[in-house]
């Protein structure tokens, strides 16, 4: 088994190297081969950029620019759309905070049931430890825990088997992914599981089929007679309010501000702020669940932040301060006071545990918090109110607004 640190070193230069190496195949070759899962350490047909993109060690805009420097929009259409799926899910969830709230409350209830219901606990343990007897599913469960990564197609198959064959609650499966994936993202992960179960696009489910798995694993697995033959959509009739995301790009001229860097955005150099008086980096891994965080995912976020320190200091000409303080209200209030800061600036904090933790800390310490939103997010999220097709139609205009055009 290849060590995850060898595949995803935390330093930005490795992410850029991977991006440059992948781009030549981001065109028609990617469109033909992207569904194939050849197993751990053999995922070279896809970009494998997601752990770095998740924490914005590199940004979507950089990936799109590098891609369009080598391909036309038509040639790289499938890969470009794949990049936008992450932004779409983030924007969709930003419009629907109730969905995240329901998921979190459901998870608390379900983990309580794991404590009380021996049958459910046994089923869950069998699935997460890779002992179901369904060879492909068990291999993916093991790969996830041991590497912190799964091919996107394998994620869909796994979620489908979890929901429709094993009949386990989707929330527990989403939590299993979220706790272990290096690219674990509240929006992408939650919405993807909902999509498989028929909750995202109401009534439309994804059914894992043995012939499809056999084809796209190149014959490694053939789970015939083991998988559900139907996928009846899950239902959730709880009301969901549609809210427009708020963007606060307040003017900072003349204000003594500090820059707060979290695992949500490890490239503040491209955030559009200059001359911070001080920079605080929050190194503590943020709990994602009431259940323990996977060892690899717990280590990855702090490691990419720590690896960013020198680069950030060089860009802003300001020495960074790092903290592993668990109480962020203490860390932030002391930093603000000791550096005589009037306002705290950070990247936009999308729905999830980091946003909750930072905002709670700011309120508790009476700190004015300004979240700067990237142009990519603003342009993408406004078209994420409904299905992906609505955003897909706008991709050419979004690229034009970002001044991203194919060269040559």
Nearest to 285 by CA among 259, 334, 335, 324: 324
Token code pair at residue 96: 């629907």
- Check if CATH label 3.10.310.30 holds for domain 257-373: no
Nearest to 348 by CA among 105, 100, 87, 11: 87
- Check if CATH label 1.25.40 holds for domain 9-94+379-401: yes
C-alpha radius of gyration, the chain, whole number: 21
Contact in structure between 305 and 283 (CB atoms under 8 Å): yes
Distance CA 141, CA 65 (A): 34
Domain range 100-216, CATH architecture: Orthogonal Bundle (1.10)
* CA count, 13 A, side-chain hemisphere, 215: 9
CB-based burial, 347-357: b 16+ in 10 Å, e otherwise: bbbbbbebbeb
Distance CA 399, CA 387 (A): 19
pLDDT tens digit at each of 408 positions of the chain: 555 667 899 999 999 999 999 999 999 999 999 999 999 999 999 999 999 999 999 999 999 999 999 999 999 999 999 999 999 999 999 999 999 999 999 999 999 999 999 999 999 999 999 999 999 999 999 999 999 999 999 999 999 999 999 999 999 999 999 999 999 999 999 999 999 999 999 999 999 999 999 999 999 999 999 999 999 999 999 999 999 998 877 788 889 999 999 999 999 999 999 999 999 999 988 899 999 999 999 999 999 999 999 999 999 999 999 999 999 999 999 999 999 999 999 999 999 999 999 999 999 989 999 999 999 999 999 999 999 999 999 999 999 999 998 765
What residue spans define the domains of the chain? 9-94+379-401, 100-216, 257-373
Nearest to 208 by CA among 190, 242, 231: 231
pLDDT tens across 176-222, in order? 999 999 999 999 999 999 999 999 999 999 999 999 999 999 999 99
Contact in structure between 51 and 14 (CB atoms under 8 Å): no
Nearest 10 degrees: Cα torsion 126, 129, 132, 136? 160
* CA count, 13 A, side-chain hemisphere, 107: 19
pLDDT tens across 311-331, in order? 999 999 999 999 999 999 999
Nearest to 51 by CA among 314, 399, 303: 303
Contact in structure between 361 and 286 (CB atoms under 8 Å): no
Can you tell me which residue has the tokens 């825990």? 145
């Amino acid at each position: 088994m290849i060590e995850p640190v060898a595949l995803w070193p935390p330093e930005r230069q490795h992410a850029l190297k991977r991006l440059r190496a992948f781009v030549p195949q981001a065109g028609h070759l990617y469109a033909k081969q992207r569904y194939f899962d050849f197993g751990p350490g053999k995922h070279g047909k896809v970009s494998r950029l997601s752990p770095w993109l998740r924490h914005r060690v590199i940004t979507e805009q950089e990936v799109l620019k590098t891609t369009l420097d080598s391909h036309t929009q038509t040639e790289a259409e499938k890969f470009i759309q794949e990049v936008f799926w992450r932004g779409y899910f983030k924007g969709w969830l930003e419009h629907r905070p109730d969905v995240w709230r329901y998921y979190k409350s459901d998870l608390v209830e379900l983990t309580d049931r794991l404590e009380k219901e021996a049958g459910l606990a046994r089923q869950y343990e069998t699935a997460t430890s890779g002992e179901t007897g369904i060879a492909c599913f068990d291999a993916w469960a093991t790969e996830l825990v041991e590497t912190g990564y799964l091919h996107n197609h394998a994620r869909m198959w796994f979620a489908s088997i979890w929901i429709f064959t094993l009949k386990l609650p989707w929330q527990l499966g989403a939590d299993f992914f979220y706790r272990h994936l290096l690219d674990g993202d509240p929006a992408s992960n939650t919405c993807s599981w909902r999509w498989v179960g028929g909750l995202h696009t109401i009534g439309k489910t994804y059914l894992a089929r043995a012939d499809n798995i056999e084809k796209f694993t190149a014959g490694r697995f053939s789970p015939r007679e083991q998988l559900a033959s139907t996928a009846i959509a899950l239902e959730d009739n709880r009301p969901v309010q549609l809210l427009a995301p708020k963007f606060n790009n307040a003017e900072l001229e003349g204000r003594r501000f500090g820059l707060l860097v979290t695992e949500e955005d490890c490239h503040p150099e491209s955030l559009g702020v200059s001359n911070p008086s001080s920079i605080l980096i929050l190194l503590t891994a943020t709990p994602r669940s009431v259940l323990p965080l996977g060892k690899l995912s717990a280590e990855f976020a702090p490691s990419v932040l720590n690896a960013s320190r020198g680069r950030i200091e060089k860009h802003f000409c300001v020495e960074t301060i790092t903290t592993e303080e668990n109480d962020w209200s203490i860390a932030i209030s002391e930093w603000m006071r000791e550096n005589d800061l009037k306002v705290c600036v950070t990247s936009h904090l999308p729905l999830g545990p980091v946003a909750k933790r930072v905002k709670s800390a700011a309120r508790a310490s009476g700190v004015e918090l300004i979240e700067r939103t990237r142009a990519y997010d603003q342009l993408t999220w406004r078209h994420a109110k409904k299905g992906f097709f609505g955003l897909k139609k706008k991709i050419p205009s979004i690229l034009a607004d970002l001044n991203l055009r194919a060269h040559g």
